[in-house]
Amino acid sequence: MSEPWPPPAQNPYAAGAPYGHVRPRSGNALSVVSLVFGILGCLLLPLGTAFVLSFVLGVPALVCGIIALVRAGQGAGGKGLAIAGTSLGGLALVGAVLLAAIATAQSRSLDDCIAKATTPEEQISCSLTR
pLDDT, averaged per 10 consecutive residues of the chain (130 residues), comes to 72 62 69 95 85 91 94 86 95 92 82 78 72
Amino acid 2: pLDDT: 67
Amino acid 102: pLDDT: 87
Amino acid 81: pLDDT: 92
Amino acid 117: pLDDT: 78
Amino acid 120: pLDDT: 81
Q: SS3 for the chain, per residue? A: CCCCCCCCCCCCCCCCCCCCCCCCCCCCHHHHHHHHHHHHHHHHCCCHHHHHHHHHHHHHHHHHHHHHHHHHHCCCCCHHHHHHHHHHHHHHHHHHHHHHHHHHHHHHHHHHHHHHCCCHHHHHHHHHHC
- pLDDT, tens only, 68-99: 999 988 887 889 999 999 999 999 999 999 98
